[in-house]
């Protein structure tokens, strides 16, 4: 310290409290202080507002309680309950104050050429404008819950087309007694409204059903099993003109909820049932209070228990009533294992998922990709990929669509054949469907065929084929290809074949879809044969292997009776009336794609004639007149060499169109 000298350049020390703040810093401090002050004021104001709100609410509650306590109308053992309009009503017990549901529904219904509309208490429950001559045309049916007024079902029946009136009858019959049903016509609804449907409407109270005519407008509100509430009808002035707009108004008293609910035993199955039946209608006895249909099925196993471990992919969309019907037949089929069933829904539709959960099954919804046929194609791909991901140990998958009934022999059929995949590399798929298996063209439920086409409609696929070949090449979303047509191309199929039954194990009942309509269903699917028994023992399964099958065919052809080729196959006596005979005929066919004669024969025999299916090396097998028939293309088929000399192959040209 002795040598220390002060620094002449150092600033003198000044205590902090005596320091002067620079002007700029001073202004910043003042600004920050102001902000803090304003923040404190705002927080205080907010707290004050919250406190005032609490005080007001508490005061209101206390005041309301006081009024209720001092209400002169509350006497004896009664209390007064306020309904939705603010009117007080007597109640039978001194329970807590309740808000009643509305005691009635106000309904407004419109029927016209361009519009079908239903409003309940001013809320639109269904408004459909004109979207084309056949879009939403027909009779619209809306089902309401008689206790809550909620919509439980909405359907459109295009009774301009055949059999739609039958579908309407079936639907109405499945609706629970007591429900409110509303009918209204959009555009035209009477062309195929036959006597049976008109009689049903008359039995429900309609005074106009029998007189409904071409392009008339009509609306009706009824209670199922009860009385008609209201009805209105305007006749069309002539055949070329639509009737004027019908506007129908009605009021319906609501029923107490306790009178509507069913008293089912309290268990897990009935909890699913109760949840479903409180929201949905048109499912028949599954919602019956007295005798509800089962939701679980105690089915026997099939001989080959391995098939019960095969995943089943159900391909579904927004057709919940179709799905309900299909699942019931599938789950009641011997060998069915609900744990292996997955329902894949193309889109986020609520009702199909609810149907799936009703049966206690796994349901998966996914975002649609592509449009129209491309969308369906992507739906199949996503479902197949997910199936093998969900069940990584599975070597096969069974694919079935939502619009198919399933035979009692469905899984037994696959169980007897699935081992062939491992032993015959020429096998492409196993299908439960025969494209040519109509009631008049098949006979033997134990008989099997090999075909070059892929039938689908209930089929089994190997994981190896899908993962190694199909999945990597599957058509992309921008390609408007039918997935099944793509699978039938020989570029993909590579000369492999599918095994099919003589009599199908599935039945196509759906009349609505992207590529389906009631006429198409009536002509090409309605009369298909269907095995209804269980445990059918298949014939000569080993002989379905490629080499053994060829030996079987050669022996059949050699022993077959050649039909009279001087006659036309379209003549009624072309097939002799004999029993247990195998017949053979040869038709003109210059190439594997020359189907001129076959197409005409398919029309004469009332078979599938939209494209060519069900053949094996240019040969078709079926039963006609109760006898086995083999139709061989000459000279292209390998079996043409067995044609006797002197037999001229039958040739039927395409009929000429009449001159305009």
Q: What is the pLDDT of residue 641?
A: 96
User: 432: which residues sit within 8 A by CB, 6+ positions away?
Assistant: 407, 410, 413, 414, 457, 458, 459, 500, 501, 504, 505, 506
Tell me the mean pLDDT in the region 586-615. 95
C-alpha 565/C-alpha 585 separation (Å) is 7
Whether the predicted pLDDT of 78 surpasses 60:
no
Q: Nearest CA to 631 among 642, 439, 429?
A: 642
Which tens digit of pLDDT belongs to each residue from 102-117? 588 899 999 999 989 9
What count of other Cβ atoms lies within 10 Å of the Cβ of residue 608? 19
In this predicted structure, the answer to whether residue 40 has a pLDDT above a threshold of 80 is no
Residue 123 has pLDDT above 70, yes or no: yes
- What is the 3-state secondary structure of 53-69? HHHHHHHHHHHHHHHHH
Residue 62 pLDDT level (bands cut at 50, 70, 90): low
Which is higher by pLDDT, 611 or 73? Answer: 611
Given a cut of 80, whether residue 304 has pLDDT beyond it is no
Reported confidence tier of residue 298, pLDDT bands at 50, 70, 90: very high
Closest by Cα among 310, 343, 299 to 324: 343
pLDDT, tens only, 173-192 = 999 999 999 999 999 999 99
For residue 96, pLDDT beyond 50: no
Give the percent of the chain with pLDDT over 90. Answer: 73
The side-by-side arrangement of strands in the sheet containing 151-157 is 151-157, 138-144, 180-186, 217-223, 228-234
> pTM (2 decimals)?
0.81
Q: At a CB cut-off of 8 Å and minimum separation 6, what does 622 contact?
A: 436, 437, 441, 442, 502, 607, 614, 628, 629, 631
pLDDT in tens, 383-414: 999 999 999 999 999 999 999 999 999 999 99
Mean pLDDT of the chain: 87
Instruction: Check whether 28 has a pLDDT greater than 60.
Output: no
Secondary structure (3-state) at 438: strand
Q: Where residue 265 falls among pLDDT bands split at 50, 70, 90?
A: very high
Mean pLDDT of 319-348: 97
Q: How far is residue 65's CA from residue 77's CA, in Å, rounded to a whole number?
A: 18
- What pLDDT is attached to residue 376? 94
- Tell me how far CA of residue 223 lies from CA of 144, 220, 414, in angstroms: 9, 10, 47
pLDDT band at 362 (very low <50, low <70, confident <90, very high): very high
Q: What is the pLDDT, as a whole number, of residue 402?
A: 96
Whether the predicted pLDDT of 44 surpasses 70: yes
Q: Are strands 341-346 and 312-316 parallel, antiparallel or unpaired?
A: parallel
CA distance linking residue 470 with residue 458, whole number of Å? 18
pLDDT at 650 over 60: yes
Confidence of residue 42 (pLDDT cuts 50, 70, 90): confident
**Structure-block tokens of residue 387:** 């199936």
Give yes or no for residue 519 having a pLDDT over 90: no
Q: How far apart are CA 328 and CA 14, in angstroms?
A: 96
Higher pLDDT, 577 or 119: 119
The beta strand positions in 579-657, using DSSP E, are 582-589, 619-624, 627-635
Contact 138, 160 (CB under 8 A): yes
Q: What's residue 111's pLDDT? A: 95
The count of other CB atoms within 10 Å of the CB of residue 495 is 8
Cα 166 to Cα 136, 173, 185, 511, distances in angstroms? 17, 11, 16, 12
**Per-residue pLDDT at 643:** 96
Task: Give per-residue burial for 576-597: e unless 16+ CB within 10 Å, then b.
Answer: eeeeeeebbbbbbbeeeeebeb
pLDDT at 658 over 80: no
Contact 124, 104 (CB under 8 A): no
């Amino acid at each position: 310290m002795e040598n220390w000298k002060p620094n002449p350049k150092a600033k003198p020390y000044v205590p902090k409290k005596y320091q002067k703040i620079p002007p700029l810093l001073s202004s910043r401090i003042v600004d920050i202080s102001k902000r803090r002050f304003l923040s404190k004021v705002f927080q205080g104001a907010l707290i004050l507002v919250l406190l005032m709100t609490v005080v007001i609410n508490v005061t209101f509650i206390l005041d309301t309680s006081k009024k209720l306590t001092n209400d002169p109308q509350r006497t004896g053992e009664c209390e007064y309950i306020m309904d939705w309009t603010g009117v007080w009503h007597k109640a039978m017990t001194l329970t807590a104050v309740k808000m009643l549901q509305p005691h009635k529904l106000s309904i407004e219904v419109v029927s016209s050429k361009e519009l079908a509309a239903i409003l309940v208490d001013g809320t639109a429950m269904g408004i459909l404008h004109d979207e084309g001559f056949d879009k939403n045309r027909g009779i619209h049916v809306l089902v309401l819950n008689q206790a809550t007024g909620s919509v439980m079902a909405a359907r459109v029946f295009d009774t301009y087309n055949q059999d739609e009136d039958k579908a309407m009858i079936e639907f109405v019959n499945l609706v629970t007694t007591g429900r409110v049903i509303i009918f209204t016509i959009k555009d035209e609804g009477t062309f195929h409204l036959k006597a049976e449907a008109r009689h049903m409407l008359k039995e429900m109270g309609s005074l106009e059903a029998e007189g409904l005519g071409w392009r008339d407008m009509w609306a009706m509100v009824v209670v199922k099993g009860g009385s008609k509430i209201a009805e209105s009808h305007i006749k069309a002035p002539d055949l070329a003109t639509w009737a004027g707009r019908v506007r129908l108004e009605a009021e319906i008293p609501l029923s107490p909820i306790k009178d509507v609910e069913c008293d089912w035993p309290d268990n897990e199955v009935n909890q699913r049932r109760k949840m479903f039946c409180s929201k949905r209608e048109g499912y028949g006895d599954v919602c019956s209070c007295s005798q509800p249909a089962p939701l679980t099925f105690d089915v026997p196993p099939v001989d080959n228990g391995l098939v019960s471990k095969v995943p089943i992919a159900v391909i579904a969309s927004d057709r919940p009533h179709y799905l309900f019907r299909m699942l019931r037949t599938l789950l009641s089929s011997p060998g069915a294992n609900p744990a292996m069933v997955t329902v894949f829904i193309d889109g986020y539709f609520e009702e199909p998922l609810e149907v799936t959960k009703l049966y206690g099954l796994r349901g998966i919804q996914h975002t649609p990709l592509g449009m129209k046929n491309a969308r369906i194609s992507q739906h199949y791909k996503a479902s197949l990929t997910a199936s093998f991901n969900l069940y990584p140990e599975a070597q096969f998958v069974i694919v079935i669509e939502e619009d198919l009934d399933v035979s009692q022999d469905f899984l037994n059929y696959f169980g007897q054949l699935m081992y062939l995949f491992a032993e015959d590399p020429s096998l492409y798929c196993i299908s439960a469907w025969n494209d040519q298996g109509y009631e008049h063209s098949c006979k033997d439920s134990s008989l099997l065929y090999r075909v070059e086409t892929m039938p689908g409609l209930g089929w089994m696929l190997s994981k190896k084929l899908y993962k190694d070949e199909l999945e990597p090449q599957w058509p992309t979303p921008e390609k408007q290809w039918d997935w099944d047509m793509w699978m039938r191309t020989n570029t993909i199929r590579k000369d492999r074949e599918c095994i099919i039954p003589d009599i199908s194990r599935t039945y196509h009942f759906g009349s609505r879809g992207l590529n389906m309509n009631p006429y198409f269903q009536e002509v090409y699917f309605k009369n298909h044969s269907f095995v209804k028994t269980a445990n059918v023992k298949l014939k000569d399964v080993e002989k379905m292997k490629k080499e053994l099958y060829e030996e079987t065919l050669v022996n059949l052809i050699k022993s077959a009776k050649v039909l009279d080729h001087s006659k036309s196959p379209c003549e009624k006596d072309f097939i002799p009336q004999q029993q247990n005979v195998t017949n053979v005929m040869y038709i003109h066919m210059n190439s594997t794609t020359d189907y001129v004669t076959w197409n005409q024969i398919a029309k004469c025999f009332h078979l599938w004639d939209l494209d060519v299916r069900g053949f094996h090396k240019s040969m078709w097998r079926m039963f006609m007149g109760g006898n086995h028939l083999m139709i061989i293309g000459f000279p292209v088929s390998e079996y043409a060499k067995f044609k006797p000399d002197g037999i001229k192959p039958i040739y039927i040209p395409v009929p000429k169109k009449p001159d305009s």
